[in-house]
Amino acid sequence: MTQFIIKGPNLLSGEISVSGAKNAALKILPAAILADSPSTITNVPQITDIDHIIKLLESIGTKTEVSNNTVTIDPTNVTSSHPDEKLVKKLRGSIVLMGPLLAKFGRAVFSQPGGCLIGARPIDDHLDVFRQLGVDIQYKDDCYIMSGKPKPGKVVLKAMSVTATENAIMASVLSDGVTTIHIAAAEPEIADLANYLNKMGANIKGAGTHDIVVTGVKSLKGSKYEILPDRIEAGTYLLAALTTNSEVTVGPMIPEHLELVLKKLTDAGAKFEEISRNGRRYLRTIKHNGLTAQDIDTRPYPGFPTDLQSPYAVLMTQAKGDTHIFETIFEGRFRYLEELILMRAKADILNPRTFIIHGPNRLVGTEISSRDLRGGVALILAGLIANGTTIIDQAEYIDRGYERIDEKLRAIGVNIERVETKL
């Protein structure tokens, strides 16, 4: 088991680098099998979710080559439409292999995907999308058996699902007509996926809005592509800097991808300075004179991202006043609060989607457990400011989505140590 041991409180200084977006790379790598030739993807984060999706791609015959943050995907020997079931169970993100397999083979066989325990994580929206595209879906021996090439037509999404939108796009890029996708999610990672597919010869318009038009093409040619910066990682490190009231430069990043987060933080009293260097953009936090509580409700993009709800809650433990947090996306996304309360945070849970943080409060280090990726990183932020030693168990969850987070934090002055213990 992996533990992080943090001695607090810490004052940070310097510059922390932002890696490529996990939630773009997890779709762009599978999308590469839609082409007839190899692709080279750069700025891929070195995180365990990426290791999993690469193993999953190899389980259907994809040849891959990884060197640091560059991944080459050769789809020419992809033969199977039935990815390794054990791996599918390990990673919720595996679900985005369904669209490409249906487009390529007109067939996909999947066990129920797994992932972080942040709520039911149903896949009904995905199945609904494929049915609207004329795909037949049977459920047998614990597997979804999907057959039939997706047909062009109109798709309306039920819950503005990010990955269901991405599955709809990937299922339609090789169909023989026009597919319109309505009530689509508009996250920047979806536009990044569409940019990559269009670079390979696809014809996708409107990605990043709620209405997308895909005109099917005969084939796609592999291409080189650079993943965009991870807005959630960038937001997490900005929140770490503000929580410790440090001056830290974070980037490269795209501030527009965090518009509402930055607005909420400046309304709370935070100050930022934008820096441009060699065509890349960075934000630097400026020392603040104390923050005031700002309520949030998490929403689909461009609303406040659910993936920053937990790190934001930690910042609000240091703000003056009561912060109401309404989590509208996932019903199980507060499990980290129990751990924060062990560190003497003051919080009241009103219902499975709403809680109040009372601040400011001095946190005290103790032994706690990470339960999922974003809840886990919130515990690191709490450890940064807590008095004394914080030991975070099950830190494997955090390695799923943050590349070398202990090394990056040590480089800006954090007293953090990684300990691998035999169970």
Catalytically active residues, by annotation: 116
Instruction: Check residue 302 for interaction with ligand EPZ (CB under 6 A).
Output: no
| Gap between the Cα atoms of 63 and 249, Å rounded | 38
Listed ranges 124-132, 148-156, 217-225, 279-287: which one lies at the site for ligand EPZ (CB under 6 A): 124-132
Among 32, 174, 329, 414, contact with ligand EPZ (rule: CB under 6 A): 329
Asked if 26 is part of the footprint of ligand EPZ (rule: CB under 6 A), the reply reads yes
Q: Does residue 45 belong to the site contacting ligand EPZ (CB under 6 A)?
A: no
SS3 at position 65: strand
Asked if 209 and 186 touch (Cβ cutoff 8 Å), the reply is yes
Report the C-alpha gap between 240 and 231 in whole angstroms.
Answer: 14
Distance, in Å, from the CA atom of 103 to the CA atom of 134, rounded to the nearest integer, reads 12
* Distance, first Cα to last Cα, the chain: 6
Q: x/- contact string, 180-219, with ligand EPZ (CB under 6 A)?
A: -----x----------------------------------
The site map against ligand EPZ for 331-370 (x = CB under 6 A) is: ----------------------------------------
Query: Which residue from 307, 399, 403, 406 is in contact with ligand EPZ, where contact means CB under 6 A?
Result: 307
Q: CB–CB of 223/36 below 8 Å? A: no
Nearest Cα to Cα of residue 169 among 137, 208, 221, 223: 208
CB 182 within 8 A of CB 157: yes
Verify binding: residue 133, ligand EPZ, rule CB under 6 A.
no
Interaction between residue 230 and ligand EPZ (CB under 6 A): no
28-to-20, 72, 239, 329, 390 alpha-carbon distances in Å = 12, 12, 28, 24, 37
Q: Which is nearer to ligand EPZ, 12 or 95 (CB)?
A: 95
Q: Which of 416, 413, 335, 407 is nearest to 378 (CA)?
A: 335
- What CA–CA distance (Å, rounded) separates 104 from 83? 14
Q: Among the candidate windows 40-48, 100-108, 122-130, 335-343, which touches ligand EPZ by CB under 6 A?
A: 122-130
Shortest gap between Cβ of 422 and ligand EPZ (angstroms)? 28
Q: Whole-number minimum distance, CB 231 to ligand EPZ, in Å? A: 11
> What single-letter amino acid sits at 314?
V
- Chain residues in the site for ligand EPZ (CB under 6 A): 22-23, 26, 92-93, 116, 119-126, 159, 161-164, 185, 306-307, 329-330, 373-374, 401
